[in-house]
Amino acid sequence: MSEPNGAHGQTGATTDESLEGRVKSAKTPNRWWLWAIIAIVAVIAIVVGVNIVKPNKQTNTTVVGTGNVAASNTADSITIGLKLTPTNLDIRTTSGSALDQVLIGNVYEGLVARDENNQVVPAIAKSWDESADGLTYTFHLNDNMTFSNGDALTAEDVSWSINQLIKNQYHDAESLNMVKSVTANDNAKTVTITLNTANSNLLWTLTGRAGLVFDKDAKYDAKTEAIGSGPYLLDKFVTNDSITFKVNPTYWGTHKAKTQTVIIKYLADDNAAVNALKSGDVQVLAPITENLAAPFTKDSEHYTVKAGDDTDKYVMAFNSKGEKTADKRVRQAIRYAINHDELIASRGGADKALGGPIPSLDPGYEDLTGLYPYDLDKAKSLMAEAGYSEDKPLQLTITYANIYGTEIGDQLRSQLAKIGIDLKVNVVEFSTWLQDVYTNKNYDISLVDHNESHDFYQWADPTYYYNYDNAEVQKLYAQAIAATDDATRDTLLAKAAKLVSEDAPADWLFNYRVTTAWANGVKGFPVNLNQTLLPLYNVTYTK
């Protein structure tokens, strides 16, 4: 789960990595990116020679060379406003999706990557073969790959990186528990991963930190420096303020980074972020609170505002073993009583209704919103069966972290009062939520933004804080993970997800969508998944 640090504007942030990180560890996505050639604006007629950055072997210092020239109307730099600020740059040991967001695919690359639709695509490996039993994956590497310090990127670097992750239990090591061995053949330019048990999530897992490839011979301070194989070099890191990227002139790939300098400016305050976009201090803001985006939406002559898909799920969990919420009728009544359209509209309207535990970009997604449509009469009937009414209300408490504000709790209290539920809203510090709800499972109802992709495992784990225990769901999930083809996996996951939704151990209030705003003239900025997947090679800004 991700750090609850206000990534999502008005509601606060994601918490998936934070929960796993503080109690265990986390998982996140990634991506690969591309060849670099510097472009500086030519001022006189035809072509002017330009300086190009060339990395020193062991540091981030630069030397001067010559390079290509950009079109005269294209800026040689762009500033992007983000919210999630990393505390340091050591992506192997530091949790939080802020590192994945800016480093993966830009500075560091993985064996494989993800596209904007959350699908696995080639990266350092140009292709791969999977054995019929799903236990052996052979990755065929690209030719002539190099790290930014000039070192060749070899199969040995790949196997060393993954083996080091497992040996030292770096961040996400637990996601490779099924791995038996990782071996390299530099002559054949292949890496072979052998599993103890088949795992249909392996490729997707390798698009994240688990699959990142590092230079085994490089010496640098990973907290403040970075030596990777991506299209950008880390030029400068100012804690809690900014990160500056320069193009990597030795990038091995087939795509070119289109902008010479990319500055990431961290803006924790929503109003300050909006003012930075208005003033031109930043050209892109991701995310922007939907309710603060209206002035930019109206000014389409100068700005573009667009919402992208993401894997965040606002989960209102019912303690399945709770004294009052163990009654399925109560849980079902609450689901019928929630007016999702009203909740989404109050947030600006960008989010999507979600009727089950799998979001639209994940394997096994099926539209389950029809299982519990808004129906007050049915909700009241179920509450009456359980022995409650508006005259004899059921008292419940919803506990959630203060990062989400009070408005959503007030809305839920108002909606549930109509069916005879007296809902107390208990807004606490995130650390308190972690202790009381996540660790001790002492709650009636909880609310948290689960942002992690491929996280259906939570519903197949009876020890998770939901206290949800369904043997059939656990069986279907185990079969899905062991599947050796995607179609079978997806069918099994969809079946399991429907069972979960029908049991009503939670209500999935909505699938959060990230709203991004940018000045017209910006091209190539990713919209989907940009809080965890932010490839910048294709971004340009024309003034």
**What is the pTM (predicted TM-score) of this model?**
0.84
- CA nearest 394: which of 432, 445, 459? 445
Residue 299: domain span = 232-310+514-542
318 shares a domain with 304: no
* Residue 274 within a domain: yes
pLDDT band at 455 (very low <50, low <70, confident <90, very high): very high
406 shares a domain with 390: yes
HSE (CB half, 13 Å, CA atoms) of 433?
24
304 shares a domain with 244: yes
In 10 A of CB 53, how many CB atoms? 22
Structure confidence by residue, pLDDT tens digits, 369-398: 999 999 999 999 999 999 999 999 999 999
* Residue 26 within a domain: no
From residue 371, how far is each of 60, 146, 251, 315, 463 by CA, in Å?
55, 52, 50, 16, 26
* Residue 293 within a domain: yes
* Residue 92 within a domain: no
* Residue 110 within a domain: no
Structure confidence by residue, pLDDT tens digits, 141-179: 999 999 999 999 999 999 999 999 999 999 999 999 999
The tokens describing 430, both together, are: 């995130």
Q: Which amino acid is at 297?
A: T
445 shares a domain with 533: no
How many domains does the chain fold into? 2
Peptide bond into 287 cis (omega under 30): yes
523 shares a domain with 446: no
3-state helix/strand/coil string of 331-356? HHHHHHHCCHHHHHHHCCCCCECCCC
Q: Between residues 533 and 139, which one has the greater pLDDT?
A: 139
Structure confidence by residue, pLDDT tens digits, 200-226: 999 999 999 999 999 999 999 999 999
* Residue 109 within a domain: no
Per the prediction, the chain carries an average pLDDT of: 88
356 shares a domain with 282: no
294 shares a domain with 377: no
Cα–Cα dist 360/366, whole Å = 8
Query: Could you tell me the CATH number of the domain that includes residue 414?
Result: 3.10.105.10
Structure confidence by residue, pLDDT tens digits, 72-113: 588 999 999 999 899 999 999 998 889 999 999 999 999 999
476 shares a domain with 343: yes
* Contact between residue 447 and residue 421 where contact means Cβ atoms under 8 Å apart: no
Structure confidence by residue, pLDDT tens digits, 468-512: 999 999 999 999 999 999 999 999 999 999 999 999 999 999 999
384 shares a domain with 526: no
Cα–Cα dist 313/15, whole Å = 10
Residue 448 has pLDDT above 90, yes or no: yes
* Residue 334 within a domain: yes
The tokens describing 536, both together, are: 């910048």
The tokens describing 147, both together, are: 């790290």
Structure confidence by residue, pLDDT tens digits, 17-51: 445 443 433 333 333 333 333 333 333 333 333 33
* Residue 522 within a domain: yes
Percent pLDDT > 70 in the chain is 87
